[in-house]
Amino acid sequence: MRTPLRWALQLGGVAAAGLLAITMFARPGLAVDDVAAGQALYQSKCTGCHSVDADRIGPRHRDVIGRKVASVPGFNYSPALKKLGGVWTPARLDQWLSGTQKMAPGSRMYIAIDDPTQRRLLIAYLRSVSKPH
Amino acid sequence: MEMQDRSLAGNRRTFLQQAGVLTLGAGAAGLFAGRPALAAAPKFRSDVGVIQTALALEHEGIAAYRIAGKSGLLSPGTLNVALIFMGHHEAHRDSLAKLVMQAGMKPVEPKSDAQYVADLKLGSLKSEKDVVSLATTLELGAASAYIGQINAIRDPKLANLFASISADEATHWTTLNAAGGGPIPKTAYIFG
């Protein structure tokens, strides 16, 4: 049986969780829904090889936006990616996700996401785990 | 929390028993090894790079199951399933490594256990529920990664192997997701 106090506590918990989510994802130019959808896509498409905070088969994604390409300390990048140069921007990530081998032939990542909406959502999530730029 | 974990473990055991998984021995994994279609080396040198990336993924999966299996966190039934899944990943590893060697190249080596513990934060796992949750995430990523790489493969036989491995990973994910009480995805195209 639900007492008013329990109701209030549960409601408070939900509100706090919602506020936390908004605080985590609220960023100028980033829609909360896009970030959540991007996170779900990230879980499906990226977590086989990547984590946000650990280098695995691929390098960590924390602060990837604004990061110099092939620059995570200690990660063993392919010569192709080292040669690419520059900085990861949303536009460059869009190009990368469109076809990694087209952008850097010989790199060790083999993916091509044709759907621009999926790429946009993934990049929204990657922006949410990066410092604002 | 302890009771919740115990209840979860009980439910999981029941689920796995109902699925008939517990009647399989870890040796059943051997049934999946040695696909005859894989006798030939990859036709295209570019495919070897894709295989090496997949091999690194298999090394990680094997390490995750092996290290988690020794953690003492898994009940006997869940441990048995973990060992079966690890056997599948070992069979995938062997098939992929064989292809790399046939192409005259050196298969990518696994990292150290210490590195896998750090990469996957295995030290933070405190319960069977944590282990199942991590394995579920890894298997989802693995199933999708294989599908995602098929477009890059030029040899149709290799594409077939990747599809077959992806189906294995999807089976692992389905088993773990159900055992952990995860919802059935409402939308199609769960992997890829």
Answer yes or no: are the C-beta atoms of A120 and A99 closer than 8 Å.
Answer: no
Give the span between the Cα atoms of A52 and A64, in whole angstroms. 9
Global pTM reads 0.79
Beta pairing partners, B79: none
Show which residues on chain A lie within 8 Å of chain B, measured between beta carbons: 43-49, 51, 54-57, 101, 106, 108-112
Instruction: Give the residue from B106, B109, B70, B107 showing the smallest Cα distance to B86.
Output: B70
* Residue B162 lies inside a defined structural domain of this protein: yes
Total domain count, chain B:
1
Whole-angstrom Cα Rg for chain A: 18
* Residue B1 lies inside a defined structural domain of this protein: no
Task: Report the CATH fold assignment for A28-128.
Answer: Cytochrome Bc1 Complex; Chain D, domain 2 (1.10.760)
Show which residues on chain B lie within 8 Å of chain A, measured between beta carbons: 49-50, 52-53, 56-57, 60, 118-121, 137-138, 140-146, 148-149, 151-152, 190-192
* Residue B105 lies inside a defined structural domain of this protein: yes
Amino acid at B170: A
B105-131: pLDDT as tens digits: 999 999 999 999 999 999 999 999 999
A103-120: pLDDT as tens digits: 999 999 999 999 999 999
Q: What residues have CB less than 8 Å from B88, skipping those under 6 apart? A: B29, B32, B168, B172
Q: How confident is the model at residue B73 (pLDDT cuts 50, 70, 90)?
A: very high
